[in-house]
Each structure stands twice: as C-alpha cells, then as structure tokens.
C-alpha cells in the first residue's frame, strides 16, 4: 500500500516545509533515528526507554499561529506571504496546507487593506515605511482570533478606519493589536503593544485548562501536539508534591500539572514580568492560584537563593533552542529534586545538557520524541531523569565546574 503524500504549489519557492514531498511515515522514521543517534547510547547505558515518536493522525492545518512580512510592489500593491529561503523575496501565498484555514486569508486581507488605505509597507533595506508584519493567532478549542499589526511607528494614520475595514473584511477576528517595532532587527515583534479592537488577547484551552494569550506571549504553534508533549511532562511529575516550573513563560505546563493533581504545589520562575503577570491570571482563571506561585526572576539566581521550604521534588524545564546553561543545571543538582523533566525543541542541545545532568548524579528514565512540526526536520523530545545519588552527594558534586562542549 502506498503512502499518502501532500503537495503545495509554492513548496519549492517557500521552503518552509522542506520534507513535504517525503511520505509522513518516513518523516517520523527519520526523526526517530535523529533522536536515537543523539540519545540512544545514554538511554541504553541508563536502562531508559527510548519510546516511538508521537506523530499526528493527519499532519495538516496544525499551525494556529501564522505571520507575514510586507513589501512594496509596483503600482501601489503590497506584497505578503513567506520569505523565500535566505532572502527577503516574498513568495505570495493564498492558502497554506499546514496553517489554520482562517490564517492566510486574514493576513492577505491586511495587505489589501494597506493598499486601499495607502499604508506604506516597511522597506527592510532602507528602514523606512510603516507596516512591517502581521501575526494572527487562531484558537484551537475556542473561536478567538487575535490579529497583531507590527508597525515601525507608534500610530497608524486613521487607525479607526483601519480597524473598521479589517473588521469588515475579517469578521472572525476578535482582537486587533498594534505592536511597535522601531528597531533594525530580524525580530518580528517589538516590546510595546496597544489594543485597537476587542480585549487585546485571545484564549485557548490545553488539557482542560484555559489560557490567556497576548500578542507577545509564547504559546506553542501546534496545540494538538502540545497536549501530547505536556501530558508526557505531567507523567514525569506524577506523585510529586512540589514542582519548579523553570522557564515557565505564561505558566502553561505548571498550571496543567497543578490542575491534574490536587496535591501539587507549583513554583514558576520566568524573567519576563509581563509573562509572570499573565501566568498569575491564568492560574486564577483555572482555580489553581492557591497552589501556583510565579516569580519574575532569573531561574539560576532563584535556585541559588531558594530556601529549604522551596526545594522541589521535581523540576520541569522547557528552555529555548539554545538549551540550558551549566550554571542552571548545577543549580538543579544543588536543589536535588528526585526527578527532572526536560522538554526540548532542539535535541542537539538537549543531549549536551542531559550529559551534564547525568554527571550531576541523574539517570535517564524515559525519552519520548514528539512531532510538533510535520513536514520539517524539527523534532521535540521529553526526557525524564531520576536522581541516583543522595541529595547531599548530588549537591556536593554540583559545585564542581564542568566544561561545556
């Protein structure tokens, strides 16, 4: 029996789904092999289970966040779509196979509105113009749709008319926000946002919990697989009484863990004050505010000064693609939790960090890959570790400097 394959008219020019022509079961096999090359040896040494990758039943329409840049075209037209690989050339897109069906139509409507109202698109080379990007987030379990317009200037000309026309063209949009990014940068979003229509946020649900999502909030793009990912993390935290949710963002993993266990107390640590404020609102909205506390701090520094009454028996960590740091991992070892749950979007840096945790007295107990981004080379992985040394000995070796490879 042949495998089902997927086609896209702009796949060659866009390049975003580099494995689109590869049958999905073969994609999953490749990702499983990638994780195996990096983690199988240490898993075998520790007697850990390296589990089969969790894939999607139908790997389309999974992205609930989409974005477009804008650029000048002849005769006042505004280009939008995707940047071709390694260029600032925009490839037009009417519909994207992997995005929520609403997303690309809304983004294209922004470009047509900019044309009608003569809002000049941003020029990457000159640093001039107004409209840089648009970002749309679509609810998975809700009908909320948040549209963020990214501008070089703090105000758009005739903002009321802009809002009116966008609402008429896209009645499904429930909030419109203006985000200001006046820096010469490749980053899409700036630090300042202002609501033009609606509440300025959207809401979605994961594992039965409701979450507020703002224009700059981190929220996983593929919520269906996020539930799979988070459930694996919750499995690693099962029977714990106190959890540290490091790199907690807006609190999604910790709040889901608290909602799943009435015995669990969660401390979430995150640098961003806006994210922490959002996490507190999310905890209250899910009736776990009495068992979840969130701190605006550097997680490594927080661990260094944590008192004995704050020591967790499980640490859940979900760092960025660059992974964690030797200092953070040494801090985890000093706290000596009985388990560490490491959620990663980059198995290369995860493998490096797992070696450090193993040197600090932990053993791998479970490795579970998850396919969050079908048709791409990216793979996520949840690794659960258990402490194999006494807390006193683990804390003593945590002070030994380790080189980072």
Residues with Cβ within 8 Å of 216's Cβ and at least 6 positions away in sequence, in order, are: 179, 189, 191, 193, 274
Choice among 138, 292, 345, 381 that is catalytic: 345
* pTM for this model (two decimals): 0.92
User: CB–CB of 119/130 below 8 Å?
Assistant: yes
CATH code linked to domain 65-200:
2.40.50.1070
Is 345 part of the annotated catalytic residue set?
yes
Return the structure tokens found at 344.
Answer: 């990663």
Q: What is the pLDDT of residue 3?
A: 76
Q: Which of 346, 343, 348 is nearest to 367 (CA)?
A: 343
What was the pLDDT predicted at 203?
97
- Scan for tokens 């240490």, then name that residue: 42
d(CA 313, CA 346): 25
> What tens-digit pLDDT sequence spans the chain (405 residues)?
467 889 999 998 998 999 999 999 999 999 999 999 999 999 999 999 999 999 999 999 999 999 999 999 888 899 999 999 888 889 999 999 999 999 999 999 999 999 999 999 999 888 999 999 999 999 999 999 999 999 999 999 999 999 999 999 999 999 999 999 999 998 999 999 999 999 999 999 999 999 999 999 989 999 999 999 999 999 999 999 999 999 999 999 999 999 999 999 999 999 999 999 999 999 999 999 999 999 999 999 999 998 777 789 999 999 999 999 999 999 999 999 999 999 999 999 999 999 999 999 999 999 999 999 999 999 999 999 999 866 555 555 555 444 443
Fold of 11-58+207-397: Rossmann fold (3.40.50)
pLDDT at 85: 82
What ranges do the domains of the chain cover? Answer: 11-58+207-397, 65-200
């Amino acid at each position: 029996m042949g495998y089902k394959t997927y086609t896209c008219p702009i796949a060659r020019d866009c390049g975003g789904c580099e494995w689109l022509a590869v049958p999905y079961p073969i994609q999953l096999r490749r990702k499983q092999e990638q994780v195996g090359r990096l983690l199988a040896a240490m898993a075998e040494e520790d007697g850990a289970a390296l589990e089969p990758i969790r894939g999607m039943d139908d790997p389309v329409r999974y992205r609930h966040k989409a974005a477009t840049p804008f650029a000048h075209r002849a005769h006042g037209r505004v280009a939008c779509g995707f940047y071709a690989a390694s260029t600032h050339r925009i490839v037009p897109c009417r519909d994207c196979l992997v995005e929520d069906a609403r997303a690309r139509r809304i983004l294209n409507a922004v470009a047509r509105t900019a044309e009608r109202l003569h809002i000049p698109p941003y020029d990457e080379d000159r640093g001039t113009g107004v409209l840089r990007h648009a970002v749309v987030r679509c609810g998975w379990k809700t009908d909320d749709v948040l549209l963020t317009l990214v501008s070089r200037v703090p105000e758009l000309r005739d903002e009321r008319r802009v809002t009116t026309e966008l609402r008429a063209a896209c009645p499904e949009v429930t909030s419109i926000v203006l985000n200001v990014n006046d820096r010469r940068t490749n980053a899409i979003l700036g630090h300042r946002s202002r609501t033009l229509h609606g509440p300025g946020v959207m809401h979605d649900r994961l594992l039965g919990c409701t979450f507020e999502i703002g224009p700059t909030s981190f929220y996983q793009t593929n919520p269906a697989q996020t539930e799979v990912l988070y459930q694996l993390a919750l499995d690693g935290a099962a029977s714990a009484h106190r959890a540290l949710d490091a790199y907690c963002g807006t609190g999604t993993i910790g709040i889901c863990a608290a909602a799943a266990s009435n015995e669990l107390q969660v401390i979430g640590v995150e640098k961003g004050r806006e994210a922490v404020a959002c996490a507190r609102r999310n905890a209250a909205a899910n009736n776990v505010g009495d068992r979840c506390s969130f701190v605006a701090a550097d997680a490594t520094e927080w661990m260094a000064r944590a008192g004995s009454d704050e020591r967790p028996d499980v640490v859940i960590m979900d760092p960025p693609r660059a992974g964690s740091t030797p200092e953070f991992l040494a801090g985890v070892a000093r706290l000596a939790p009985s388990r560490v749950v490491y959620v990663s979007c980059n198995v290369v840096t995860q493998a490096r960090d797992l070696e450090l945790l193993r040197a600090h007295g932990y053993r791998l107990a479970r490795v579970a890959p998850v396919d969050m981004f079908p048709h791409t080379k990216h793979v996520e992985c949840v690794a659960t570790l258990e402490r194999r040394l006494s807390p006193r000995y683990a804390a003593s070796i945590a002070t030994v400097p380790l080189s980072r490879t």
